[in-house]
Amino acid sequence: MNCPAAEGAFAADRLDGPDPADLRSVGSALGALFPAFDDYLAANTGALLPAYRRGTVASEPLDLPIEGAGLDAVVAELAAAVRAGCRIGASGATCYINTGATTAAAAAQAAVAVAGGQRYYPHAFNALESTGLHWLAALCGFPAGSSGVFTSGGSSANLVALGAARQWAFEQRGLDASALGLAGTPRARIYASPFAHRTIHRAAAVLGLGRDAVVEVSDDGCGHIDPRALDDRLASDRRDGIVPVAVVGIAGTTDTGAVDPLDEIAGIARRHRAWFHVDGAYGLVAAASPTLRPRFRGMEKADSWIVDPHKWLATGLGVGAVYVRDGELHRRAFMEGHASYLEGSFGSDGQPSSQFDSFGGDWADLGVELSAPPRGVLVWAVLRESGRRGVVARVERHVAFARHLAERIRAEPRLELLADPELSIVCFRHRYEGRGANQANAALLRRLRRETPFAPSSTVVNGTFAIRSCYINPRTTLADVDGLVDAVLRLG
Ligand SMILES: *Cc1c(COP(=O)(O)O)cnc(C)c1O
């Protein structure tokens, strides 16, 4: 075969000139940012970072620069960006299920950026990745022997879990869906409550089942799936020849933090020969608390679980995790298959004598990413710092915040509690006379976020607009909880 050679000639100095990046001490570049880190934390605690106005960071031209500005300019502009900051990590930001990294996690992030490289090959960070996976499973109570992998977040974790469910459901019918696709297979569905996170629907779309394959079974009026309705729907769909791919139990809904009756769902899924997946992106960390554990009864019967360390464990964004009980099935669903560029590179006689003697973990075949940072190092750092006892203390503190907020709302005639907190989410509203109460509460929420350090989010509870406060931020204090109520009363 006569393959064409590369064309074009370079200037003579290309060959022995320096790299354009300034590769001086990383420590001094990071050190130059340290004052900005502390300024950010001070300005973001109990105070109000304003909305970002473009141009605050010196150069935001739309055109790609032709000439580079150099390392010092980058560090100076990063310092400006750090000071302008993001309110997600603020002590009063209780919106969505988002928070910033703890100090230990930020340090771990820096360590990974400098020396963590890749999650593969046996090296220190690879070992911590494995430890992080193992500790997280022990914390949440996943069965020993399950296979797990870190992902970019709950979205891809749900995709992987439901991909394993899809593999299983069609294998039951003699079909290998990951090898052959779904052409000619019978219709398939996934069952969940109306409060299932939309990433379940997107996973169904990506897996070729279609968003509409997610059946939103009716709820009990308190945020949980109605088990009778689930049972009935599975029975009638099976009579119609539809393949039940998975039943999803939510261990802490995004709207109100309700935990589905997991034990009952487990029984129903088994009876109908459907995979049982638990979406615990937010809530499963709370299963570590002996006091809260009974709420999660039955979760240990699931076939797959997800949990997001970047939520309650505050690792900083970009860390989800998925666990599948049957590791071989997990691999069949996600394996890449043979690749010449990897095969034969590894293999040592006994102990690896170089970091390149082994691939390390087998995670490439358990998810949708090959290269990835060792995200488990962040999980390791958080659990190493605080231990199980520390995590339980944080979760219980946050749930106590939610109960305290609910009590204060109940005691205020001008406020109305819309959902009793099961975990650390509280949904409430200000009472307004007449119609237009939903719009008035939406306006109140906007003023809170604009004028006060308190930034809840919103949702709809049984048709009513709700101000929604979610406690997962380690930096939040009781003063922030009381401050929110006081601000709502003042502005309402
Ligand atoms: C947050 C969340 C997700 C999605 O996770 P991301 O990390 O945002 O992708 C899925 N399910 C539930 C219940 C969640 O709360």
Helix %, strand %, coil % of the chain (to 5): 45, 15, 45
CA–centroid distance, residue 200 to ligand 1 (Å)? 9
pLDDT in tens, 199-251: 999 999 999 999 999 999 999 999 999 999 999 999 999 999 999 999 999 99
Whether the per-residue pLDDT at 47 is higher than 80: the answer is no
Share of residues in the chain with pLDDT > 70 (%): 99
Percent of the residues in the chain that have a pLDDT greater than 90, as a whole number: 84
Q: Which residue has the higher pLDDT, 368 or 47?
A: 368
Q: Residue 128: how many CA atoms within 13 Å on its side-chain side?
A: 23
For the ranges 39-53, 278-292, 308-322, 445-459, the lowest mean pLDDT is seen at: 39-53
Taking only the tens place, the pLDDT of each residue in 339-352 is 888 877 787 677 77
Q: What is the mean pLDDT of residues 260-287?
A: 98
Q: Do residues 140 and 280 touch, judged by C-beta distance below 8 A?
A: yes
Is 238 in a helix, a strand, or coil?
A: helix
Q: Which atom of ligand 1 is nearest to the CA of 153?
A: 7
pTM: 0.96
pLDDT digits (tens, 9 = 90+) for 168-181: 999 999 999 999 99
Q: Tell me the mean pLDDT in the region 62-77.
A: 90
- Which residues have C-beta atoms less than 6 Å from ligand 1? 97, 153-155, 158, 197, 199, 250, 254, 279, 281-282, 308, 320
Q: How far is the CA of 449 from the centre of ligand 1 (A)?
A: 23
CA distance 248 to 229: 14
User: What's the pLDDT score for residue 433?
Assistant: 87
Give 93-126 pLDDT, tens digit per residue: 999 999 999 999 999 999 999 999 899 998 999 9
Using alpha carbons, select from 25, 109, 15, 116 the residue that is nearest to residue 71.
25
Q: What is the pLDDT of residues 140-187, one digit of tens each?
A: 999 989 999 999 999 999 999 999 999 999 999 999 999 999 998 999
